[in-house]
Amino acid sequence: MTSPATPRARRRALTGTLTALGLSSVMITTVGAPPASAATWPTPSSSQAVSSTISVSGVRDGGMVRYYGSGDLAGDGQEEGQDPIFELAAGATLKNVIIGAPGADGIHCEGNCTLQNVWWEDVGEDAATFRGGSTYTVTGGGAKKAADKVFQHNGPGTLNVSNFAVSEFKTLYRSCGDCSTQYTRKVNLSNIEVTGTGSTARLVGINVNRNDVATLRGITILNDSSRKVIPCQKYNNNTAVGTGPDSTNCLYAASDITYR
């Protein structure tokens, strides 16, 4: 999803313990710890079809239920404007949730939010879209089968992602390149396990003309001997203008990236 919030009509489209997080112990560590081994994806406790967006305020613990779209939320492609499975009000926390297929537009955060131990088995349009607020936190969990983006950042502020696993994806994080209202955005990635597929993929895509900043620490990339995974892609809005670390926008060193 690349555009800012608009009224949405009815559409076709749609942490407990370390064990619950489903990540190996080396992944749940501070920066500078040994690199991650392959994440173990959780088994859902049950499955629940969702035909209309679930609104969340406060804290919602999903108990590792798999939620998947049905009816108007049965989309699993890249059509713009799909509705989400969950919509989080400002200050809300969603934890211990699995989003299955169809995944619609995943999760929308309307303000500051926390996603804790949330797993996307088959990303639809996007896994999560951050639309308003100043600070968003994703801790634990993972996403796979993202034909385009995992995290879409449309609003202002900073997204912090830690102890997260991603595979079969094109872009893990994208700062919106064509939103009608633009901002300077920041993203911090820490202890991220990435599984390459041999195709080009990007960990972050940021707008250097908007002074975006990406900080990468403790990144482990598996199955990428040909170095197809680009840690930091720079854009002027939607025009790619370079890659690689620098002292202004893409903040990381060779030691922050481990290949296995």
What is the SS3 assignment for 133-190? CCEEEEECCEEEEEEEEEEEECCCEEEEEEEEEEEEEEEEEEECCCCCCCCCEEEEEE
Q: 180: helix, coil or strand?
A: coil
SS3 at position 71: helix
**Residues 210 and 183 sit within 8 Å (Cβ to Cβ):** yes
Strands 213-222 and 257-259: parallel
Contact by Cβ (8 Å): 135, 112: yes
User: For 21, which DSSP code?
Assistant: H
pLDDT number for residue 82: 86
Average pLDDT across each block of 10 residues of the chain; the chain has 260 residues. List them in order: 40 36 37 49 97 98 98 71 94 98 96 98 96 97 96 98 97 97 98 95 98 98 96 98 98 97
Token pair of 89 as six digits: 């009000």
pLDDT at position 38, please?
61
- Given the structure tokens 């404007």, which residue do they identify? 81
Which pTM does this prediction carry? Answer: 0.85
163 token code pair = 């102890």
- What confidence score (pLDDT) does residue 13 get? 34
In angstroms, the CA 71 to CA 51 distance is 5
* pLDDT given for residue 40 in this prediction: 87
The residues, ordered by sequence, that sit 6+ positions from 240 with a Cβ below 8 Å of its Cβ are: 233, 234
DSSP alpha helices (H): ranges in the chain?
A: 18-21
Per-residue confidence (pLDDT) for residue 79, from 0 to 100: 56
Residue matched to tokens 């920066």: 31
Both structure tokens of 70:
């049905």
Residue 218: predicted pLDDT = 98
pLDDT at 81: 72
